[in-house]
């Protein structure tokens, strides 16, 4: 399984807008073939810090996610909401095992 943790630092005044943009991206992403999880997490100690947990059956499925209209809409809409560029960390998901 191909997993990416995306860390995002959001401008405090844009948190509500960011959450809504992520909700729309989450809904589109969880409907994609190969998607296993697409969680949006907000840091309990720092509400401007978010982590997107993206799990796909394969790297090909994860790459296809970047070609979707909902991802492009999210990417473009949140660009000015971020305090600094987002950082993605790739992981190999071991358990649960991908189908």
Alpha-helical (H) ranges within 1-99 are 15-30, 59-65, 69-78
Q: Is residue 74 part of a domain?
A: yes
pTM (predicted TM-score): 0.94
Q: Is residue 56 part of a domain?
A: yes
How many CA within 13 A on the CB side of residue 53?
Answer: 10
| Average pLDDT score over residue span 82-96 | 95
Tens digits of per-residue pLDDT, 31-88?
Answer: 999 999 999 999 999 999 999 999 999 999 999 999 999 999 999 999 999 999 999 9
Round to whole Å and give the CA distance between 47 and 65. Answer: 26
Task: Quote the Cα angle for 18-36-75, to 5°.
Answer: 30
Query: Total domain count for the chain?
Result: 1
Q: Is residue 8 part of a domain?
A: yes
The domain that contains 83 carries what CATH number?
Answer: 3.30.70.100
Domain that holds residue 33: 2-92
Q: Is residue 26 part of a domain?
A: yes
């Amino acid at each position: 399984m191909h997993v990416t943790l995306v860390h995002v630092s959001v401008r405090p005044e844009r948190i509500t807008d960011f959450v809504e943009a992520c909700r729309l991206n989450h809904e589109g992403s969880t409907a994609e073939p190969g998607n296993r999880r697409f969680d949006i997490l907000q840091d309990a100690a720092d509400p401007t810090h978010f982590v997107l947990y993206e799990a796909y059956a394969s790297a090909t499925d994860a790459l296809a996610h970047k070609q979707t209209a909902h991802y492009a809409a999210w990417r473009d809409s949140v660009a000015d909401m971020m305090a600094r560029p987002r950082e993605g960390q790739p992981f190999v998901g071991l358990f649960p095992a991908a189908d």
